Structure 1
Amino acid sequence: MSDKDPGDIIATDPREKDDRRSLIVRKIWNFNPKDIFTWELAKTVAMGQFLASLICGTAVTSQYLASDYHVDAPMLQSFMGYTLLCLTYTTALLFRTGDGNMFQILKRKWWKYLLLGLVDVEANYTVVKAYQYTTLTSIQMLDCFVIPVVMVLSWWFLKTCYRPIHYISVVICLLGVGAMVGADLLAGRDQGSTSDILLGDGLVLLSASLYAVSNVCQEYTVKHLSRVEFLGMVGLFGTLISGIQLGILEHTNVANIQWDWSIAMLFAAYGLCMYTLYSCMPIVVKKTSATAVNLSLLTADLLSLFCGLFLFQYKFSCLYMVSLVIILIGFIAFNAVATTPNPAEPLGQEEGVHGNSYDTITKQEVVVTVQGEEKEEQKAGEGPGLTWRERTQDEETPAGGRSTKM
């Protein structure tokens, strides 16, 4: 008797291999670009580039504040953005009723959102701090570390299923980033400090990891709970944490700012860009995924460069256009095939807010079982034809007619 499994024998059948080849050939022959390049994909690309343009806005305003006005107050800039989120979304939660009210959310999950706010604030702070120790090239290269971390966290916690095309797309996008960094080196844009490159690179990796945690938490919250809840809680705790950190670390820098209308306008522009970015990103994350959003944001540096060609007299290189095209190709390929949660491991929702998927499945199984027993009893002649629900209510109703069931 052969030790081979029958499935192995079938898998090695030459006829089956021929059928698979013919199936692949038919798929290639029947390929229709309209099935991939849909209106939904176009909207996804457009929304991703809109987010990248908002990041470009924060970069340009920060560059103006640093180079033209010598303002070094990154925490003040973040504090303004978080304050705007708090004034709008946290206030909206305050006037909600039921489980969506701010106090009910804080009662159940205050420590979770406290940690999330801390992660988000420090992710913004550490990447700005890294510019004091390492070069722009290192930051651009190491900042891409957020993508593999997001993919691992999404696979582990959100049960996201990635296909080979997704990994290929990520590699294509990273090649585009490599072309961008090469163009920077050829154009002499290797800016930044070199006082402690190892510390600076470590801060970039830390920032990328913190951003990944924040993005995955954002994806879970907006897909299973509420976009307003996420933004309201991040705005609340982000304002508190950044305000405390601002008072401790930057009170001297803020006191030394020579305020005029141009500085105030730049701070306002930065705050509005950050506020709009945080408000719109959950919409794109809910439509796609945290990984897709981070891939689309890879073009933010290129958009900042194109603005710098006119504003800061940067040198142009054709490699920048090549990099932009490569990144967009990778982003489109990534979004052409959906990433779906693993059906074998469903992700439950928060209990007490939207219900628990496991409990829902169990209740459905109980209902099916009870209905089956009712039919068997009626066929066997047991009982006067009352349903299970009617018999239960009759048993729980005392002589006075008032049900004891709560």
Structure 2
Amino acid sequence: MRETIALGQMLSLCICGTAITSQYLAEKYKVNTPMLQSFINYCLLFLFYTMILAFQSGSDNLLSILKRKWWKYILLGLADVEANYLIVKAYQYTTLTSVQLLDCFGIPVLMALSWFILYARYRVIHFIAVAVCLLGVGTMVGADILAGREDNSGSDVLIGDILVLLGASLYAVSNVCEEYVVKKLSRQEFLGMVGLFGTIVSGIQLLIVEYKDIAGIQWDWKIALLFAAFALCMFCLYSFMPLVIKVTSATSVNLGILTADLYSLFFGLFLFGYKVSK
């Protein structure tokens, strides 16, 4: 139990790390390449976990898995890639704290998917918590719109909030699939397939939508370090989350990592000078 809680807090810190680096890149250095950031992470997953599958034997071998379930993992890779893209893209329009607080919308979506797909069952208190969560999401969006009107950026902030809600929903899809694969099959299979198809999908999308933005980056060691820090945090998040999901559930993990919102709030106040709306 203690190990699970400690690992959950490490996941929260990883999420916070991705949030801070993304905000720095978008706000301070004007680097708007969310797909490039995700592509680096998928390449790391590919080089490590997909290669493990390639050298395994029997039904767990990469080619054997592809022959039987390639189309399922393409859909999973697409959902995961777009979830990452939308969340990181949102930092161009709204603040770190808004992104981190609004991504809790994924919890009620995750619970609904778990109910129908994994046959999870919940108590009344869980539904009350979902209602509170949705109320908080609505309040946060309203606060962002009001704050945006004060500095004439209301439409941009609303776009950012919508991107977060869509990204959180896709994360919920990915997390439910992750729980199924990790518990029924193996952690290596999930990470290897996400690494393979995530690299392919994000690579194609990268060439289509971001080649001009990448060419315009004024590279220096600080920007390179932020990219490396983001990729490292994401790789650790992907590597360790299945371990927690295997002994608990995707819903429990997402509830446990809500402390990332608190960490991000503190960093937003001290690093970016955000102010709490009154």
Residues 8 and 256, structure 2, Cα contact 8 Å, conserved in 1 = yes
1:269 counterpart residue number: 229
Residues 23 and 91, structure 2, Cα contact 8 Å, conserved in 1 = no
1:153 counterpart residue number: 113
For the pair 1:235 / 2:199, whether they are aligned, the reply is no
Give the superposition deviation at 1:265: 1.0
Query: Quick one: which of 240, 255, 265 aligns to 1:280?
Result: 240
**Where does the alignment leave 5 or more consecutive residues of structure 1 unmatched?**
1-40, 318-406
1:31 counterpart residue number: none
What's the secondary structure of 1:160's corresponding residue?
coil
2:167 counterpart residue number: 207
Q: How does 1:391-402 map to 2 (within 5 A)?
A: none
1:289 counterpart residue number: 249
For the pair 1:115 / 2:115, whether they are aligned, the reply is no
What's the secondary structure of 2:198's corresponding residue?
helix
Give the superposition deviation at 1:296: 2.1
Query: Quick one: which of 25, 48, 53 aligns to 2:13?
Result: 53
Cα distance in 1, alignment partners of residues 25 and 157 from structure 2: 24
For the pair 1:125 / 2:125, whether they are aligned, the reply is no
Which moved further from structure 2: 143-152 or 216-225?
A: 143-152
Give the superposition deviation at 1:144: 2.8
Relative to the length of structure 2, the TM-score reads 0.86
1:307 counterpart residue number: 267
Cα distance in 2, alignment partners of residues 218 and 56 from structure 1: 21
Q: Which amino acid aligns with 1:43?
A: E
Give the superposition deviation at 1:226: 0.4
For the pair 1:259 / 2:191, whether they are aligned, the reply is no
Give the superposition deviation at 1:141: 6.0
Residues 219 and 290, structure 1, Cα contact 8 Å, conserved in 2 = yes
Q: Which amino acid aligns with 1:304?
A: S
2:207 counterpart residue number: 247
What's the secondary structure of 1:248's corresponding residue?
helix
Residues 141 and 158, structure 2, Cα contact 8 Å, conserved in 1 = no
For the pair 1:44 / 2:15, whether they are aligned, the reply is no
Q: Structure 1 residues 304, 184: closer, same or farther in 2, change over 3 A?
A: farther
Give the superposition deviation at 1:278: 0.5
Residues 141 and 181, structure 1, Cα contact 8 Å, conserved in 2 = no
Cα distance in 2, alignment partners of residues 294 and 98 from structure 1: 34
**Where does the alignment leave 5 or more consecutive residues of structure 2 unmatched?**
none
Q: How does 1:321-332 map to 2 (within 5 A)?
A: none
Q: Structure 1 residues 171, 126: closer, same or farther in 2, change over 3 A?
A: same
Per-residue CA shift, 1:296-317, capped at 9, x if unaligned? 2322222122223432234579
- Higher-Rg member (1/2): 1
1:35 counterpart residue number: none
2:179 counterpart residue number: 219
Give the superposition deviation at 1:133: 5.5
What's the secondary structure of 1:161's corresponding residue?
coil
Cα distance in 2, alignment partners of residues 98 and 165 from structure 1: 45
Residues 48 and 293, structure 1, Cα contact 8 Å, conserved in 2 = yes
Give the superposition deviation at 1:111: 0.5
Give the superposition deviation at 1:175: 7.5
Give the superposition deviation at 1:85: 0.3
Per-residue CA shift, 1:310-338, capped at 9, x if unaligned? 32234579xxxxxxxxxxxxxxxxxxxxx
Q: Structure 1 residues 267, 134: closer, same or farther in 2, change over 3 A?
A: closer
2:46 counterpart residue number: 86
Cα distance in 2, alignment partners of residues 96 and 236 from structure 1: 15
1:195 counterpart residue number: 155
* Bigger relative contact order, structure 1 or 2 (CA pairs below 8 A, ≥6 apart): 2
Residues 182 and 242, structure 2, Cα contact 8 Å, conserved in 1 = yes
Q: Which amino acid aligns with 1:231?
A: L
RMSD over aligned CA atoms reads: 3.2
1:70 counterpart residue number: 30
Q: Structure 1 residues 283, 61: closer, same or farther in 2, change over 3 A?
A: same
Residues 90 and 235, structure 1, Cα contact 8 Å, conserved in 2 = yes
Relative to the length of structure 1, the TM-score reads 0.61
Q: Structure 1 residues 314, 137: closer, same or farther in 2, change over 3 A?
A: closer
Q: Structure 1 residues 230, 201: closer, same or farther in 2, change over 3 A?
A: same
Cα distance in 1, alignment partners of residues 221 and 167 from structure 2: 32
Q: Which amino acid aligns with 2:230?
A: Y
Give the superposition deviation at 1:84: 0.4
Q: Structure 1 residues 90, 193: closer, same or farther in 2, change over 3 A?
A: farther
What's the secondary structure of 2:39's corresponding residue?
helix
